[in-house]
Every structure is written in C-alpha cells, then in structure tokens.
Chain A
C-alpha cells in the first residue's frame, strides 16, 4: 500500500474513511504515516483547549426572557397589526392620495403621483414621511439583492424577513392608492408587492444562478428605478416642510 494522504489520515481520525482496517494496518507498518497521523492527532487534541464558557443553571429561562418580547413584537407587527393603526393610516393615506389626485388635476392635465400643492396638513406630513421611509427601506432590500454576489449558496433569510415586514405596509399603501384612484402609485406599489412576495417565498439559501435570475428580473421590471422616482416625488413634497418660514 502506498503512503496515506493527509486527507486519508484526517478521515481516519474521524472514522469516516472507506477502508478503516486497511488504513489501520498501514499505520501499524509505516512509521512515516504514523508520524503524520500522530501530528494530526496532537493538533486536533489541542482543539480541546477551546472550551465553551459554562452557561449555568437557568440559561434557558434567560434566553426566553430576552427572546419573548421580540417574538411578541414581531407577531403583533407582522401577523396581527393593530386594527386602529391600519385604519388610521389607511384613512390618512386615502386623504393624502385624494388631495394629491385633486391637486394634480387642478395643476396638470393628468394626475401624477403624490403631487401635493400648497400647505400640507400635519397628518399628511406624517404619512408622507412613512411612505418615504417605506420606499427607502424597500429600495435598500432590493439594492442589497441586486448588488449581491456569491460564489456559492447565498443566505437571504435576513432580506426575506425584511421583505415580509415591508409587505404588510405595502399592501395598506397599495390598497389605499387603488381606492383613491391614484393608479400610478398603486401600480408601483403593486409591482413592489409582487417582488417582495417573490423574495419572501424564495428558498432562504439561493444558488448563484437563482441570484442572477432574481437580479435580471429586478432589472427587467425596472422596479428600483420606479421606486427611486416615486421616492423622489415624496421627498419633493416633504421639502417645503423642512424649509424654515
């Protein structure tokens, strides 16, 4: 039998080789291989020095105590959003979009998204800020995926969580926009919703090919560009608010 490779010796250490008996026999007969094997054994035995700090009794309760509020918050924000928040935000968004629609009509031949003129009511300012934040957060998630690169499987579970959180808000904004007749806003939010859904339902680890597909679809649909334009419109409407009187 020829000398054993380092890989053979490592597998033998973990008892995963295919010919354990043959390797064992060779090690008994071959001093060179035996020396190599002992060196590997010494190194791997030295790894025992990496001890794990003891967590002590009650660790599980500590983990749960820290975790529970986050789970409760997540459930209430994602699965069961408080009805009053949805209703209030929906009403405010409807008012905003109606105002935008009417203002757009009076100043231009066609309705444009979120074209507010004159003074902005306080509740509308809050809503503009919320929409602006929503669009920025959505852009961040999509930009991260559009710019991701991976030689192997890529974990996108974090982006999926964020996409799932954004979906709830997006549905509200999209429904209100549809109800207010602002087709441009509704269309963009509808596209965004489909993209967010796709991300949420993708496998949490995607291959480089799947990542390329996703990137191509993002580019083909131009969703990032549309989000930037809509976000820019929203920011424009917020500008007069920021300027000192």
Chain B
C-alpha cells in the first residue's frame, strides 16, 4: 500500500531516505512544470527543482503537518523561482530576432494563412514568453499559480504568503499586462 505524504514526511524526518525519495518521485514533475512556467527556462527550472527539494529536506523539521507536503514544497519552489527570476530579471532570456528589426506583433497581425500561420504560432509562443517576462515577480507567480496550476485565489495567497486580496490584485495586474501585450497577436491568431 502506498503511504500518504504525511507518513512519508514522518519517515523522512527520522532519516528514511527512501521515504524522501518517494516524495521526490511524487512531486518532481509538478515542481518542474511550475518552475518552468515561473522561470521560462528549462535549465533554471531544473535548478529550482533541485534547490526546492534540498530546502525541503533541510527544513523537514519545520514542516507543519497540517499543511500538505505538496503545497509546502510548492511554496518553497515558488520562493526559489522568485529568487531566481528577481536575480535574473534584467537578463534578456527571449532575444528578439536579430535578423529582423520588424515588430513581431506587426508581423503577426500582417500574417496570412499557410506557412505564415505556422510561423504565427511560434511567434505567439515567443510573444507569450516575452510578455510573461515583463510581469513582476509577484504578478508572474500569482498568475502561474492561478492560471496554470488552477489554484483558487485564496490558495494562491497561502502559497505566496500574502493576503488573498493582494494575490487577487497581482493576478489582475498580470492579466491586464498580458492582454495589452498579446491582444494584437491573439486576435490575429484565431
């Protein structure tokens, strides 16, 4: 029978490495997905996954059993990702096409059917990534948790350690910014 997370945490606390490994197995994919959406970068996301489990292991003694291990490690991962995003905020992770000075939005809106539509989907992906990079760390994390992870606003607040109102406003600001950045592209892409 598979042990539930709280039982695994209890065993891991007493030094059972296999128990901690089961927790890692159980949560690593979700953590990677979250970290990738937070950082927008595969190798950064892998680092966040590693650092999150390391911090979790280090802080197992402080884990409050009333909270789910998944929520707790999510919170740690969000903090790790936030640290990373803040420290690399100024790094241009999505470089504009150096061979074209043309505005991608203008290109997207001018695109027609056929191969151009394929280019448009790539364009959209890049544009989305770029728009996400323009969000503040708080906006990005709140938006990722609400939109991609499907957490309710209240849960987003719990994970981010802020009031639900603050989490809600971060989501609002994120959506407004994304809308401004993406509206020209998405209205053409559909």
Instruction: Write the residues of chain A forming the contact surface with B, with a CB cutoff of 8 angstroms.
Output: 6-7, 10-11, 14, 16, 39-40, 42-47, 49-53, 55, 59-60, 63-64, 66-68, 70-71, 74, 78, 152-153, 155, 157-158, 160-161, 164, 204-205
Contact = CB atoms under 8 A, between A and B. Distances in A.
A43 B175 CA distance: 8
Interface residues of B, number: 54
A19 to B, nearest CB: 16
B161 A153 contact: yes
Interface in B169-186: 171-172, 175-176, 178-179, 182-183, 185-186
Interface string B124-135: 110011001000
Contact of B17 (A53, A71, A78, A152): A71
A43 B57 contact: no
Contact of B42 (A14, A53, A158, A160): A53
A64 B24 CA distance: 7
Which of A11, A64, A152 has the most chain B CB atoms closer than 10 A to its own CB? Answer: A64
A45 B58 contact: no
A185 B185 CA distance: 66
Contact of B186 (A14, A45, A205): A45
Contact of A60 (B25, B128, B166): B25
Contacts of A51: 125
B147 interface: yes
Contacts of A68: 17, 21
B79 A157 contact: yes
B54 A59 contact: no
Task: Tell me what chain B mostly uses at the interface: helix, strand, loop, or mixed.
Answer: helix
B69 interface: no
Interface of B: 17, 20-21, 24-25, 28-29, 32-33, 36-37, 42, 49-50, 53-55, 57-59, 62, 76, 79, 82-83, 121, 124-125, 128-129, 132, 138, 146-148, 152-153, 161-162, 166, 168, 171-172, 175-176, 178-179, 182-183, 185-187, 189-190
Contact of B55 (A42, A64, A78, A157): A157
Nearest to B186: A46
A44 B175 contact: yes
Given A40-B179, A55-B29, A60-B28, A161 B55 contact: yes
B54 A71 contact: yes
Contacts of B178: 43-44, 47
Which of B36, B42, B161 has the most chain A CB atoms closer than 10 A to its own CB? Answer: B161
Q: Rank and list the top 9 A-B pairs by shortest CB-CB distance, nearest first.
A: A46-B186, A60-B25, A49-B125, A63-B28, A155-B79, A43-B179, A42-B186, A49-B124, A205-B161
Given A52-B37, A155-B79, A59 B29 contact: yes
B183 A43 contact: yes
